[in-house]
Amino acid sequence: TYTTDPKPGEENKATVESLCRLSVDVKKIRRAKEWVLLQAVAHVDEVAALLRDMGADEPTVASILERCPEAVLHSPAEISSQRALWQLVCQNEKQLITLIEQFPESFFTTKYHENQKANILYFQELGLKNNIITRFLTSAPTIFHNPAEKNKSVIETLQRNYLRLGGSDANMKIWILKLLSQNPFILLNTSSTIQENLEFLHENHFTDDEVLQLLSKLKGFIFQLTPSTMQQSLLFSKKVFKCGEHELKQLVLKCPALLCYSAPVLEERLRGLLKEGISVEQIRATPMVLELTTQIVQYRIKKLSALGYDVKTGTLDSLNGTKKDFEVTYGKIRAKKERPVFNPVAPLPTED
């Protein structure tokens, strides 16, 4: 531990020298997080020793400290506690050090240690597998900042509503675990937000079964919206497609993007499609194309045009889907274009 008491605004020389001995690029730290080097107290050698004890080699130690230099401001006791905590869900220390190298900021956030521990134990009790929990720790660490009771309250609200909407007891656990694994950030909402958004869907004449469909299709992202933004999106779609309540509802069930994207985003994407010569009627027939950004649409149209395929004269199905889906569609169109008019190995027709 270094306590050389540097003057305000002056780097802690002992910290800098120790980092240099570990082959850490101090220039990078100065550019990104110089404040770390100004702290009077640091634990460089102790942190490095703990990382080595977990199996990290010297380049890995240097990489971790370059990307997350604030790690040296934590005491060895704090890091040891965090190590024991993450070992509850890691298969072994090799996996642990790999995760720390990839997501050092998540590991070295020790402020919410007790909440992290309580949430890990609750998620395990709920039935989430350890590999899913490790993914949460690294990609959605903020959900562990909440007290476990708060996360439990949100999950219980979801479970109650699932049953109220017609879901079965037998499928409830599978449904909630799938929803959480798809979108753990759902836990950042409040129980009241969930209730308000479900009530909004009912007020817009979606049946219980249709609401369940939307929850599954949108992977819970519907709870990150507000009734006012959803209302604006629905009004925009109704105006553009010139349709009644029933037809609008069918369009939303076919393409939930009409509900979850804001009106300005939908307008921008619609304008991009119209600029490419695509008609409103085509978009209405295949609204899922609005799930794609304008840049992706332009790229796909350009690729198809190079094959002589004109999206303006047909359906927009060829533009839809993920990158993988599009590549499959593109490959089929290209193969069809390159296919010979006749089969050269087929027998010639003969008269009887």
pLDDT tens-place string over residues 224-281:
889 999 999 999 999 999 998 899 999 999 999 899 899 999 999 999 999 998 999 9
Q: Which domain holds residue 97?
A: 1-110
- The average pLDDT across 133-151 equals 94
- The average pLDDT across 18-26 equals 94
Confidence of residue 343 (pLDDT cuts 50, 70, 90): low
Residue 95 lies in a domain: yes
Q: Per residue in 101-134, pLDDT tens?
A: 999 999 999 889 999 999 999 999 999 999 999 9
Quote the number of domains for the chain: 1
| pTM given for the model | 0.79
Q: Answer yes or no: is pLDDT of 158 > 80.
A: yes
Residue 305 lies in a domain: no
Q: Answer yes or no: is pLDDT of 338 > 80.
A: no
Residue 28 lies in a domain: yes
Comparing CA positions, the residue from 280, 339, 272, 324 lying closest to residue 301 is: 272
The pLDDT of residue 6: 54
Q: Answer yes or no: is pLDDT of 347 > 80.
A: no
Give the range among 157-171, 259-273, 286-300, 303-317 with minimum mean pLDDT.
Answer: 303-317
The pLDDT of residue 1: 47
Give the range among 45-54, 61-70, 238-247 with minimum mean pLDDT.
Answer: 238-247
- The average pLDDT across 272-301 equals 92
The rounded percent of the chain whose pLDDT value lies above 70 is 93
Residue 70 lies in a domain: yes
Confidence of residue 2 (pLDDT cuts 50, 70, 90): very low
Residue 188 lies in a domain: no
Residue 37 lies in a domain: yes
The pLDDT of residue 351: 53
Q: Answer yes or no: is pLDDT of 137 > 60.
A: yes
The pLDDT of residue 238: 93
Residue 47 lies in a domain: yes
What angle is formed at CA 201 by the lines to CA 266 and CA 281, rounded to 5 degrees? 35
Across the chain, what does the average pLDDT equal?
89
The pLDDT of residue 346: 56
